[in-house]
Structure 1
Amino acid sequence: MSEPDNADRLKALEERIRKAKGEPEVAHHSESHHSQAQLAWRMVTELVAGLGIGFGIGYGLDVLLGTGPWLMVLFIFLGLAAGVKVMLRSAQELQIRQLADRADEDGDG
Structure 2
Amino acid sequence: MTGPDQKQQMEQLEAKIAAVKKSQDRGPVQEEHYSQAQHAWRMVIELVAGLGIGFGIGYGLDYLFGTLPIFMLIFTILGLVAGVKTMIRSAQEMQEKQLAELAEKDAADISAKDEGS
Instruction: Give your verdict on TM over 0.5.
Output: yes
Alignment partners' CA distance in 1, 2:45 and 2:66: 30
In structure 1, the residue matched to 2:74 is 74
In structure 2, the residue matched to 1:57 is 57
1:97 offset after TM fit, Å?
0.2
Q: How many residue pairs align between the two structures?
A: 84
Paired amino acid for 1:84 = V
User: Is the counterpart of residue 43 in structure 1 residue 36 in structure 2?
Assistant: no
1:68 offset after TM fit, Å?
1.9
The runs of 5 or more residues in structure 2 that have no matched partner are: 1-16, 22-31, 111-117
Runs of 4 or more consecutive aligned structure 1 residues displaced over 3 Å after TM superposition: none
1:35 offset after TM fit, Å?
2.0
Alignment partners' CA distance in 1, 2:101 and 2:83: 27
User: Larger Cα Rg: Structure 1 or Structure 2?
Assistant: 2
In structure 2, the residue matched to 1:97 is 97
Alignment partners' CA distance in 2, 1:58 and 1:68: 9
Instruction: Return the TM-score normalized by structure 1.
Output: 0.68
The runs of 5 or more residues in structure 1 that have no matched partner are: 1-15, 21-30
1:80 offset after TM fit, Å?
0.1
Paired amino acid for 2:105 = E
Instruction: Return the TM-score normalized by structure 2.
Output: 0.64
In structure 2, the residue matched to 1:8 is none
Q: For residues 35-84 of structure 1, what are the alpha-carbon distances to aligned partners after superposition, in whole Å with 9 as ceiling and x for unaligned?
A: 21111100000000000000000000000001120000000000000000
Once the two structures are aligned, what percentage of the paired residues are identical? Answer: 64
In structure 2, the residue matched to 1:24 is none
